């Protein structure tokens, strides 16, 4: 979603409306389950209800309004947000990282990995809580709640391959109707029982925490459910920009949420028979079916935002070299952020459906929800501290109290959610840990692989001199060799020249460079260097929010180089088959074997760089993962030089 018109009042209003659907879907559907989960942990009386409401409203004020909207969103990477964009601001990958930089990478990647756990639970708990409205309509068919939820989720994930471009325009208006509806329902109950307005005072939350610390700690774990959409809010900043997102929050989302929560509190204090389902209890009988349908639509939109966020997070990790290559499909010709990743979609679909089958109710899922998100919020605060010091150059005397205050709140939420570990909270932590291990293993293995290739490579200048001295014949056409560096000879070029000692009439050594900025403009995409002997060095630059497309880059080159015929190009790739070293059963050997498995299953470079298969030649090489200290086993035979299009 472009924010180029966001500075005009009309354009900002339109973007704010769109933000209601994309940015606030998660946090906007929390009233379905957050207050209900909180009151389930205490004895219901006026003081407890007012204390819970006070905790909710001041959590929204401090965490969402102050921390994320006014502070964290200042930390944008060329307009983009999200934990990896925040990490990229610190540029810990530059050069050889020291202990501090490595620690930042580990902390940042672990926080990002935890978001996959959030991506599993959010669709499950959101849709399940919406469908549970059936209990207030016709209790006799309540046993259909789980099957209906599964059908909706499967339809949602099946729909991902088609993209959201056609229906995304409806997200904002639907969510506007949602927020208007829940605020009206809440306002009616507040009118009948205005005592709940006392909870606007933070004194109730503070007093509850001091007088009943054990109960407050348990309640905080449920109260946290009211703010779980903050990380998604920050990650989607690049779609709309800060002003429209802030306008949508303060002008619509925040007041509507507070009114609805207070309305639910007022309903419970009346002793209504619907106190077990306070959200649906706000509505009269005739309205519950339309409200359930609206809630289902709102939760589908909230789930869509989280799923899209998982896709975006994966692409960022791949571009930053922290995740294996995966197939990424663009689902919109206008919006670069609308992508589809089949493997991640399948993983989330199976995981989400499994959660619904195992937990069977939003109340049970609430016990597992929150710990991963609260841990991610702690990570965001840590990274924000270094951004304030290193990037913004704020004074330490100002940064320390700000960070300490935010960290105290984040750690309180994390501690409150930690008690959920045995009730299912271990699951998102386990998923996050697994994704983190994959990320670190991939980065570790790729670095060792590049180290081997570099140590066994040949200086490009020396290769050109040797090729010129050999007077090798030149054949018509252009050969493109993908290279990790333009200072050293591409392994594919070395192998090709060794076994087939001829050179193409024109040779391009192409190096794809991923930058720690979201996007590189097409005007700055190429850097061309003439190397002599009709060799060209070509750097192709992309941001971490962009997917590389080598043929498109060559068409850009052809616009400035008349000698390049893009229809007569052959791509040469080196395909390294990585094998683990024989070191016995150790932790290091397990990591080596995991990397080998990831390398075997990673998307082929042909597909990742969008190369036409019929024009690709691969040259194979076997390499031991610990090759920097062992001799690699490499071979290129007639069987390992294969035309892609002939497989």
Domains and CATH numbers, the chain: 15-424 (1.20.1740.10), 456-646 (no CATH)
Across 178-182, average pLDDT:
96
Q: Is 20:179 a contact under the CB 8 Å cutoff?
A: yes
pLDDT of 633: 42
- The percentage of residues in the chain with a pLDDT greater than 90, rounded to a whole number, is 30
Q: Is 306:115 a contact under the CB 8 Å cutoff?
A: no
Residue 127 pLDDT exceeds 50: yes
Across 145-160, average pLDDT:
92
pLDDT of 55: 95
Under the banding of pLDDT at 50, 70 and 90, the label for residue 302 is confident
pLDDT of 2: 42
pLDDT of 627: 44
Concatenating the DSSP letter of every residue in 207-271 gives HHHHH-HHHHHHHHHHHGGGGTTHHHHHHTHHHH-HHHHHHHIIIIIHHHHHHHHHHHHHHHHTT
pLDDT, one tens digit per residue, over 583-617 is: 554 456 777 788 888 888 888 888 888 888 888 88
List the structure tokens of 522: 């097409």
pLDDT of 588: 66
Across 371-390, average pLDDT:
90
List the structure tokens of 456: 């066994």
pLDDT of 626: 57
Q: How far apart are CA 520 and CA 525, in angstroms?
A: 6
Residue in the structure block whose two tokens are 């979201």 = 518
pLDDT, one tens digit per residue, over 430-461 is: 888 899 999 988 888 887 777 776 666 677 88
Under the banding of pLDDT at 50, 70 and 90, the label for residue 7 is low
Residue in the structure block whose two tokens are 């994390």 = 414
Q: For the chain, what is the mean pLDDT?
A: 83
What phi-psi label fits residue 288: left (phi over 0), alpha (psi between -120 and 50 degrees) or beta? alpha
In 3-state terms, what secondary structure has residue 623?
A: strand
pLDDT of 93: 58
Under the banding of pLDDT at 50, 70 and 90, the label for residue 15 is confident
In 3-state terms, what secondary structure has residue 331?
A: coil
In sequence order, the β-bridge partners of residue 622 are 577
Residue 62 pLDDT exceeds 90: yes
Q: How far apart are CA 223 and CA 208, in angstroms?
A: 13
pLDDT of 197: 94
Q: How far apart are CA 228 and CA 231, in angstroms?
A: 7
pLDDT, one tens digit per residue, over 403-421 is: 999 999 999 999 888 887 8
What phi-psi label fits residue 355: left (phi over 0), alpha (psi between -120 and 50 degrees) or beta? alpha
pLDDT of 25: 85
Distances (CA, A) of 321 to 85, 446, 512: 14, 8, 12
pLDDT of 636: 37
Under the banding of pLDDT at 50, 70 and 90, the label for residue 381 is very high
pLDDT of 385: 93
Residue 485 pLDDT exceeds 60: yes
pLDDT of 198: 95
8 backbone dihedrals φ, ψ, rounded to 5°: -90, 145
Residue 397 pLDDT exceeds 50: yes
Under the banding of pLDDT at 50, 70 and 90, the label for residue 233 is confident
Residue 361 pLDDT exceeds 70: yes
Q: How far apart are CA 435 and CA 638, in angstroms?
A: 38
List the structure tokens of 288: 């519950």
Under the banding of pLDDT at 50, 70 and 90, the label for residue 41 is confident
Q: How far apart are CA 497 and CA 30, in angstroms?
A: 62
List the structure tokens of 249: 């929050």
């Amino acid at each position: 979603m472009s924010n180029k018109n966001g500075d005009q009042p009309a354009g900002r209003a339109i973007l704010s409306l769109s933000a209601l659907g994309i940015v606030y879907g998660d946090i906007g559907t929390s009233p379905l389950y957050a207050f209900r989960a909180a009151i389930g942990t205490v004895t219901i009386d006026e003081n407890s209800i007012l204390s819970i409401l006070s905790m909710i409203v001041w959590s929204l004020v401090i965490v969402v309004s102050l921390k994320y909207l006014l502070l964290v969103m200042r930390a944008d990477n060329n307009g983009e947000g999200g934990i990896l964009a925040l990490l990229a601001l610190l540029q810990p990958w530059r050069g050889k990282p020291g202990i501090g930089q490595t620690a930042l990478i580990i902390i940042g990647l672990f926080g990002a990995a935890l978001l996959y756990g959030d991506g599993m639970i959010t669709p499950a708990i959101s849709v399940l809580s919406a469908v549970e409205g059936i209990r207030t309509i016709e209790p006799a068919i309540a046993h259909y709640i789980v099957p209906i939820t599964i059908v909706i989720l499967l339809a949602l994930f099946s729909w991902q391959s088609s993209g959201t471009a056609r229906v995304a325009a409806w997200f904002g208006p639907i969510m506007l109707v949602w927020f208007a509806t829940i605020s009206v329902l809440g306002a009616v109950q507040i009118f009948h029982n205005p005592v709940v307005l006392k909870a606007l005072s933070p004194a109730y939350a503070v007093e509850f925490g001091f007088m009943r610390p054990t109960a407050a700690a348990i309640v905080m774990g449920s109260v946290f459910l009211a703010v779980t959409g903050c990380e998604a809010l920050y990650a989607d900043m690049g779609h709309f920009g800060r002003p429209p997102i802030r306008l949508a929050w303060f002008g619509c989302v925040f007041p509507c949420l507070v009114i609805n929560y207070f309305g639910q509190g007022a309903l419970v204090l009346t002793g209504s028979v619907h106190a077990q389902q306070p959200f649906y209890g706000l509505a009269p009988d005739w309205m519950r079916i339309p409200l359930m349908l609206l809630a289902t639509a709102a939760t589908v939109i909230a789930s869509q935002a989280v799923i899209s966020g998982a896709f975006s997070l994966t692409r960022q990790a791949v571009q930053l070299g922290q995740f294996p290559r995966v197939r990424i499909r663009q689902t919109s010709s206008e919006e670069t952020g609308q992508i589809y990743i089949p493997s991640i979609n399948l993983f989330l679909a199976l995981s989400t459906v499994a959660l619904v089958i195992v937990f069977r109710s939003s109340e049970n899922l609430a016990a597992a929800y929150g710990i991963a998100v609260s841990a991610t919020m702690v990570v965001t605060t840590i990274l924000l501290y270094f951004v304030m010091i290193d990037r913004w150059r704020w004074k330490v005397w100002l940064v320390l109290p700000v960070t300490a205050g935010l960290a105290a709140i984040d750690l309180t939420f994390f501690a409150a959610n930690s008690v959920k570990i045995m009730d299912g909270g271990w699951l998102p932590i386990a998923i996050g840990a697994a994704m983190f291990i994959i990320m670190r293993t991939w980065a570790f293995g790729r670095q060792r692989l590049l180290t081997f290739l570099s140590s066994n490579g040949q200086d490009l200048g020396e290769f050109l001199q040797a090729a010129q001295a050999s007077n090798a014949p030149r054949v018509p056409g252009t050969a493109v060799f993908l290279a990790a560096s333009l200072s050293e000879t591409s392994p594919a070029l070395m192998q090709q020249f060794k076994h087939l000692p001829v050179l193409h009439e024109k040779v391009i050594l192409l190096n794809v460079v991923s930058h720690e900025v979201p996007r590189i403009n097409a005007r700055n995409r190429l850097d061309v260097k003439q190397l002599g002997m009709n060799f060209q060095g070509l750097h192709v630059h992309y941001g971490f929010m962009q997917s590389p497309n080598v043929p498109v880059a060559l068409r850009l080159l052809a616009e400035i180089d008349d000698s390049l015929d893009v229809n007569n190009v052959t791509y040469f790739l080196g395909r390294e088959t990585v094998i683990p070293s024989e070191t016995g059963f150790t932790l290091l050997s397990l990591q080596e074997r995991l990397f080998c498995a990831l390398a075997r299953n990673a998307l082929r470079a042909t597909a990742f760089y969008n190369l036409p298969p019929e024009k690709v030649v691969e040259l194979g090489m076997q390499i031991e993962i610990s090759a920097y200290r062992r001799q690699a086993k490499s071979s290129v035979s007639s069987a390992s030089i294969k035309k892609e299009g002939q497989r």
